């Protein structure tokens, strides 16, 4: 698994989420084919970490947009707004989740293409931040240190371990 591939599209119509409840001891892919399944996966904690939750919800909105495009031969802004509201409700305190979904809705023209464009930019930015965080954080570890995290620390932590190239207990 690549560090940034905790959630990704398979084709255009299926979202794969690496189940964070069992990671890193095991790795399982969960397939979601619509925004309702994505929302349930977020609520059940399959996706963890503020950035990954926001990206997961964004992909859920993409799936909703694809569905509305197929059903209506175009945009259904009311339906897309309802999908965004459902996804946003999965984590009411998720600031990044709400911001990203709001940004996606604001930019919708041909929904699925615009959503993927914004998601790719957001994922690229998230990767840059995670790598920079990992580079900075790896200088703080000494051999044999134990790391205790609160919640899921995300890719920054994984980059830190990768860059440290030392065995750390999780």
SS3 (DSSP) at 78: helix
Q: 7-129: which CATH number, 1.20.120.420, 3.40.50.80, 1.10.1760.20, 1.20.200.10?
A: 1.20.120.420
36-88 pLDDT per residue, tens: 999 999 999 999 888 889 999 999 999 998 888 888 755 567 788 899 999 99
Q: Which of 47-56, 97-106, 123-132, 148-157 shows the lowest per-residue confidence on average (mean pLDDT)?
A: 148-157
Which residue's entry shows tokens 């990768």? 162
- Separation of alpha carbons 42 and 170, rounded Å: 23
Integer angstrom CA distances of residue 156 from 44, 73, 96, 116, 118: 23, 41, 16, 23, 21
Q: Given this model, what pLDDT does residue 167 score?
A: 43
Quick check: 35 and 61 in contact, CB under 8 A? Answer: yes
Could you tell me which of 109, 99, 56, 102 has the C-alpha nearest to residue 81?
102
CA angle, 158 then 63 then 3, to 5°: 10
């Amino acid at each position: 698994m690549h560090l940034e591939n905790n959630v990704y599209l398979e084709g255009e119509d299926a979202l794969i989420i690496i189940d964070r409840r069992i990671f890193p001891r095991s790795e399982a892919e969960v397939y979601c084919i619509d925004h309702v399944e994505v929302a349930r996966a977020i609520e059940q904690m399959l996706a963890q970490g503020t950035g990954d939750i926001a990206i997961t919800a964004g992909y859920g909105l993409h799936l909703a947009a694809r569905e509305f495009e197929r059903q209506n031969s175009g945009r259904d802004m009311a339906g897309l707004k309802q999908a965004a509201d459902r996804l946003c409700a999965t984590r009411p305190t998720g600031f990044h989740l709400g911001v990203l979904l709001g940004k996606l809705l604001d930019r919708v023209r041909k929904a699925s293409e615009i959503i993927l464009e914004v998601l790719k930019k957001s994922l690229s930015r998230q990767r840059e931040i995670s790598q920079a965080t990992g580079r900075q954080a790896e200088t703080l570890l000494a051999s044999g240190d134990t790391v205790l995290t609160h919640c899921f620390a995300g890719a920054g932590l994984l980059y830190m371990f990768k860059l440290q190239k030392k065995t750390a207990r999780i």
